[in-house]
């Protein structure tokens, strides 16, 4: 961390500042130029509050050189983390060279629907089943999910297919209900729901942490750090598009996040092309692109109910379309792996 | 709501669609041009799921004409909402011509600190006291607030000064602890924590709802709608800056949100120049600008502890600086009111 | 195009509006609901000024249903455009199934440099040579390019290798100097330099039109339309990243623009992973991703001067690194084509 | 400027780097920590190319401490610049405590229109007349302005009213036609048309430099620097809103740019509330807010043609509305000045 002092700071002020910084447990190097004084802070600066330091009257600017995340930082954990989801013969590994596709409907609607989709996507190469039971909707008047009943239907689908199940949690108060969910998803809107993250830090479950709507990579990794600081290091990151000023796609899928996160962190990273684009016809090219960029997996929305197609989201594929996407994705994965 | 059909939709498909839409309880007007068919939906379209409709294979695009929020919508509630905060002689009205400044420290640190600041800002014209007890910090290693003890210190400051207290809630699980907080703040990071919003819908407390980091006005009002749909209509909105690509200021303070929200909604709207800019020297001009734009109030950070100035944020004013700001603000308010 | 009238518009006003609209040469369909009147405009609405219409006192909102671009619109030109760059045996086709890599240095520096790079990238599979002669630099104090001398060095490199040359124009006043440039590039900062675009509309040269720093797809295609409206239909679009709030990468590479543009337009689209990311180590994964997303080509920065490596940009590959990237790119291209 | 070296850089590499930096004319301070080596560059670093330095293999990051602009930098020119526009008795000063309103139509349409508006806005307190002769339109099919004829009509209006005239230039090739324009405007889309900026650097005319659509404050000041480096220091900056993800307003008016630019630079800054919001009903509150934020002036669109109201933009005021705005603006200005 580097701090630049303002012009005209007195020697007493400098001395007080240096003493205060040393008390925080870091080494302090003072470098005085003709016009500016620069302070280099070396050691474990992750516990120094950059806003607090930058807020001092005598400081012109502060720049972090090393990243503020520790548990999630590749510098301190060079080897890729491999997260195992599910148990026994159905367990699936993600990260460290292990690639997997998660597929399923936006919302769990009925046993017939979820079991039907689960069987279809399994046969096309999906390794995990997703399905929303608790739904974060912008409007209180939109369908909020089947909640507890939805979780029960997911369990049935798991029993029928052996696929581990992935579903979103919206409140720490629901944690008991999620006791046998295989991979608990934290949605984009809760990425900085810090009280939830802290609770998940004590859960014995892998977590799928989606990137926030307009989150920086650093904020995202700091949210992972919240969970890891509590002891739970089984985290899979999920890029799902970031807010933009253009309306052709719902979000901008930031695929450069894949190699960039891989450089910054040892955690696996997967990509959600369905939510990112909001258009089913873009799912195939963006799934292929995400795979070529080196993602550790994909999470793709699939619906299976032609008679009620009215209720399917703009971003969902049919099982037949999913099969085509999965086939292309695996051929690219085989080429680059 | 207007839907445009794709080319080549059959008459049977059109008929099925129209029947399905009528079942949702809206009137349907079909307008067939040479190349395009347009469907106008009239009535209470707030309960139609726009993503669902837009996702149909036969739909090219859907546009909402009327806003999806009802309780928060000025069209249905032309008169300004006035929110009363606190009780008895200390009660403060905000909205409908009533203007108030909320002031106080970023974090509650000690009785001496919070009581000292409370007295100072009261004497300069603040009508409510803010102070963070639960702090949403990007890093798990940064100070997380005094939590319950902080709430207790706020109560002491209220007893000493009579100022109603405003503080942030981070989880519905803490609601009991907030039973005698006068105005409960929902922070930017929790603006779409829908489970929390639903719980606050049943609380008998006014809510200060901050705009999300990169939230649209519509999303913000829909979050207010979540609370109001539960029965709690005592909401004050707070513009606090939105994410931008420039780093000179922490966020971009979107002051056009003030007249725009006033047009869309009957709810009061105040402005937070401290968090928006992240620089104490910008608080004065932006407080004056917000007041001139017609805000119903301001929320301003003030610190008072010269010996520990090291711990004060870049965005906080001293009590003397606050007095100068408040004086300028009231003179502008008097001019325009 | 659909216009929604405000409440309370009189019959006379409606009639005047309809008459005025008909004079613009479009069909007008009036659809009167209980609360709202909707006007559908059918026909060639590309010449209706949406700002002008939306600005009328009696109009609540206007929505374009069909796109405002005509020449660039796939609806009116279903077949892919194939742009041929260069002449004779060295001519290269881009678009309509033809894929090509453009490579070369950020700036042309010397004959030795540009010829050396040209030979190296040609042997690794590049089909065109890029090199900046006129450089758009944020600072007037940064190197502005060799200008005319740089163009001459590019011609020498073309003579030596047969590769067609691609270089950026910054002013219509330079057009004479660009007479034998094979592909004239319009940079992101000039994407809405409309006077330049109009001049290029009369040039008998293919144009490489980069997306603006924060341009929507529609604005980008409208800039292509400016050139095409003048008669020059040989345009290649280039996605080069858009502005974002995160600083890990210089821009966000918006790869969903590739399939989205392909849907909207018949023009070829290539991708520039070097400028988009600003980091040479991200060029390989993002080149692979862009190819998998279906791009018609890539434009990649390569430097070749180990002794002066100090002067090479963060985003440039060495020839050896470029060879590795090109090899991976062609293997993905072969898989998907 | 501070550069941080990567781990494992050899002593020879360090020595070479230091020598190279010294040749650029700056002092170099090396500060070696246990894990990291930091290089402080002191002196005139404005001529060091930060991209070039940051691109070196051995560099981890580079941070500019002092700003890269010199002529525009308040540090080197503490006193406010006052720009005088027009000549003789009609000359108007802007900056350094001098406040002025520029008003007029979006486009010059006829002598009657421009003279009528000029007289009306003059009587309400406008000090300069704006009017577009060359219009930058997103679509080539939209009205492009009366061009030379529009300039002639502006001259007539100046003769009739004595108001200096302000109009936009779109190409350096038109400079001769602008010889007697009093204040030449560079629009947002041309803010980084560097060839145009260089030409204006040699013009003997004050320049109104609008902020780019998604420009940072630094980029904007660097564009001013392009003009000033050529010798023309008579620049007025104009904040006109920046691109955002929300569609209620056309842009987000960034009023914190007013005090922030005043801190960074000595140049005057005015605000354009009409283009920023795109809604005439927001012009009044945002004009008042801009004035309260300390702007040196405003530029406001006014139309005057009730019979052809169809052709007026959504963002224009009538003369009566303008009079009301101007009156409120001057009362705020008097309060704060």
Mutate to test the interface with C, among B5, B27, B65 (most CBs of C within 10 A): B65
Q: Does the beta-carbon distance from D243 to C20 stay under 8 Å?
A: no
Q: Is the pLDDT of residue B222 over 50?
A: yes
Q: Which pLDDT value is given to residue C35?
A: 61
CB B188 within 8 A of CB B210: yes
Q: Is the pLDDT of residue A313 over 70?
A: no
Q: What is the pLDDT of residues A234-277, one digit of tens each?
A: 999 999 999 988 888 889 999 999 999 999 999 999 999 999 88
Q: Does the beta-carbon distance from C282 to A291 stay under 8 Å?
A: no
C282 contact residues in A (CB cutoff 8 A): 256, 259-260
B90, B69, B321, B97: which is closest to B209 by C-alpha? B69
CB A306 within 8 A of CB A113: no
Residue A182 CB contacts under 8 Å (≥ 6 apart), including other chains = A85, A86, A87, A128, A158, A164, A165, A166, A205, A206
Residue A275 vs residue B58, higher pLDDT = A275
CB C83 within 8 A of CB C127: no
- The DSSP output letter for D139 is S
Q: What is the pLDDT of residues D247-258, one digit of tens each?
A: 888 899 999 999
Q: Which pLDDT value is given to residue C308?
A: 47
**C-alpha torsion D40→D41→D42→D44, nearest 10:** -160
Among D245, D259, D286, whose Cβ lies nearest the Cβ of B256?
D286
Question: What is the chain B residue with the closest CA to A250?
Answer: B51
Termini Cα distance of chain B: 37
Residue C302 vs residue A31, higher pLDDT = C302
pLDDT, mean of residues A7-33 = 81
Residue D278 vs residue B306, higher pLDDT = D278
Share of residues in chain D with pLDDT > 90 (%): 67
Q: What is the pLDDT of residues D261-284, one digit of tens each?
A: 999 999 999 999 999 888 888 999
Pairing of strands B207-210, B183-186: parallel
Closest approach of chain D CAs to the CA of B261, in angstroms? 10
A213 contact residues in C (CB cutoff 8 A): none
**How far apart (Å, rounded) are the C-alpha atoms in residues A241 and A222?**
18
pLDDT tier at A153, thresholds 50, 70, 90: very high
Q: Which pLDDT value is given to residue D310?
A: 42
Burial B22-34 (b: 16+ CB within 10 A, else e): eeeebebbebeee
CB D200 within 8 A of CB D227: yes
Tell the residue number behind the tokens 């293919």, with chain if given.
Answer: C206
**How far apart (Å, rounded) are the C-alpha atoms in residues C165 and C121?**
13
Size of interface B-C (CB pairs under 8 A): 56
Q: Which pLDDT value is given to residue B315?
A: 80
Share of residues in chain C with pLDDT > 90 (%): 67
Tell the residue number behind the tokens 């006068």, with chain if given.
Answer: B182
Share of residues in chain A with pLDDT > 70 (%): 95
Closest approach of chain D CAs to the CA of C198, in angstroms? 9
pLDDT tier at B35, thresholds 50, 70, 90: low
pLDDT tier at A33, thresholds 50, 70, 90: low
ipTM over 0.85: yes
Question: What is the chain B residue with the closest CA to A67?
Answer: B139
Q: Which pLDDT value is given to residue D34?
A: 60
**Angle in degrees, 0-180, between the axes of helices A319-336 and A111-123, rounded to the nearest 10:** 30
Closest approach of chain D CAs to the CA of A42, in angstroms? 7
Mutate to test the interface with D, among B220, B293, B324 (most CBs of D within 10 A): B293
Residue D46 vs residue D204, higher pLDDT = D204
Q: Which pLDDT value is given to residue D31?
A: 72
Residue A299 vs residue B57, higher pLDDT = A299
Pairing of strands A92-94, A83-85: antiparallel
B63, B57, B67, D135: which is closest to C1 by C-alpha? B63
User: What's the half-sphere exposure (Cβ side, CA atoms, 13 Å) at C81?
Assistant: 27
Question: What is the chain D residue with the closest CA to B264?
Answer: D248
Mutate to test the interface with C, among D177, D194, D214 (most CBs of C within 10 A): D194
Q: What is the pLDDT of residues D115-163, one digit of tens each?
A: 999 999 999 999 999 999 999 998 898 889 999 999 999 999 999 999 9
Report the mean per-residue pLDDT for chain D.
Answer: 90
Q: Which of B10-24, B166-180, C318-332 has the lowest mean pLDDT?
A: B10-24
Q: Does the beta-carbon distance from C310 to D51 stay under 8 Å?
A: no
Alpha helical stretches, state H, C95-243: 111-123, 148-161, 194-200, 217-229
Q: Which pLDDT value is given to residue A39?
A: 82
D281 contact residues in B (CB cutoff 8 A): 259, 263
Q: Which pLDDT value is given to residue B312?
A: 45
**How far apart (Å, rounded) are the C-alpha atoms in residues A199 and A203?**
7
Q: What is the pLDDT of residues D68-100, one digit of tens each?
A: 888 999 988 999 999 999 998 889 999 999 999
Closest approach of chain C CAs to the CA of A282, in angstroms? 7
Subunits close to B (at least 3 CB pairs below 8 A)? A, C, D
D165 bridge partner residues: D129
D134, D128, D62: which is closest to D98 by C-alpha? D128
- The per-residue pLDDT string of chain C (337 residues; one tens digit each, 9 = 90 and over) reads 778 888 778 888 888 888 888 888 888 877 776 666 778 787 777 777 777 787 677 887 787 767 788 899 998 899 999 999 999 888 999 999 999 999 999 999 999 999 999 999 999 999 999 999 999 998 898 889 999 999 999 999 999 999 999 999 999 999 999 999 999 999 999 999 999 999 999 999 999 999 999 999 999 999 999 999 999 999 999 999 999 888 888 899 999 999 999 999 999 999 999 998 888 889 999 999 999 999 999 999 998 765 444 444 568 899 999 999 999 999 999 999 8
Residue B312 vs residue A105, higher pLDDT = A105
Q: Is the pLDDT of residue A117 over 80?
A: yes
Q: Does the beta-carbon distance from D313 to C243 stay under 8 Å?
A: no
DSSP string, D185-229: EE-GGGTT-HHHHHHHTT-SS-EEEEPPTT--HHHHHHHHHHHHH
Give the domains, in start order, of chain A with CATH numbers: 2-63 (3.30.70.1140), 83-336 (3.20.20.70)
CB C101 within 8 A of CB C59: no
Q: Which pLDDT value is given to residue A305?
A: 65
**How far apart (Å, rounded) are the C-alpha atoms in residues D162 and B245?**
42
Residue B27 vs residue A281, higher pLDDT = A281
Give the number of other CB atoms < 10 A from CB of residue B247.
12
Closest approach of chain C CAs to the CA of B251, in angstroms? 10
Closest approach of chain B CAs to the CA of C42, in angstroms? 7
C2-5 sheet: strands from edge to edge: C27-32, C37-42, C2-5, C59-63
Q: Does the beta-carbon distance from C255 to A286 stay under 8 Å?
A: yes
**How far apart (Å, rounded) are the C-alpha atoms in residues D317 and D301?**
6
B189, D139, B302: which is closest to C226 by C-alpha? D139
Q: Is the pLDDT of residue B304 over 80?
A: no
pLDDT, mean of residues A53-70 = 78
Q: Provide the whole-model pTM.
A: 0.92
């Amino acid at each position: 961390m580097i701090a630049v002092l303002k012009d005209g700071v007195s020697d007493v002020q400098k001395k007080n500042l240096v003493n205060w910084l040393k008390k925080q447990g870091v080494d302090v190097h003072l470098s005085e130029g003709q016009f500016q004084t620069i302070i280099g802070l070396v050691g474990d600066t992750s516990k120094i509050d950059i806003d607090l330091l930058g807020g001092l009257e005598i400081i012109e600017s502060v720049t972090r050189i090393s990243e503020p995340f520790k548990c999630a930082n590749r510098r301190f954990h060079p080897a890729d983390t491999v997260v195992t989801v599910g148990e026994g013969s159905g367990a699936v590994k993600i990260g460290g060279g292990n690639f997997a596709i998660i597929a399923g409907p936006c919302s769990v609607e009925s046993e017939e629907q979820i079991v039907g989709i689960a069987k279809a996507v399994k046969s096309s190469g999906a390794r995990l089943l997703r399905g929303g039971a608790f739904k974060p909707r912008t409007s209180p008047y939109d369908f909020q999910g089947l909640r507890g009943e939805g979780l029960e239907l997911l369990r049935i689908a798991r029993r029928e297919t052996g696929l581990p199940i992935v579903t979103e949690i919206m409140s720490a108060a629901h944690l008991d209900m999620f006791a046998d969910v295989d991979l608990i998803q934290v949605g984009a809107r809760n990425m900085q729901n810090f009280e939830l993250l802290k609770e998940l830090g004590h859960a014995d479950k892998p977590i799928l942490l989606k990137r926030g709507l307009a989150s920086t990579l650093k904020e995202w990794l700091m949210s992972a750090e919240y969970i890891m600081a509590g002891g739970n290091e089984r985290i899979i990151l999920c890029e799902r598009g970031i807010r933009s000023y253009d309306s052709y796609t719902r979000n901008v899928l930031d695929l450069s996040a894949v190699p960039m996160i891989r450089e910054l962190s040892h955690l696996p990273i997967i990509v959600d092309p369905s939510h990112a684009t909001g258009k089913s016809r873009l799912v195939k090219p963006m799934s292929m692109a995400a795979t070529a960029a080196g993602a550790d997996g994909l999470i793709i929305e699939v619906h299976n109910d032609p008679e009620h197609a009215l209720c399917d989201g703009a971003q969902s594929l049919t099982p037949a379309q999913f099969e085509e996407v999965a086939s292309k994705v695996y051929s690219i994965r085989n080429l680059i792996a």
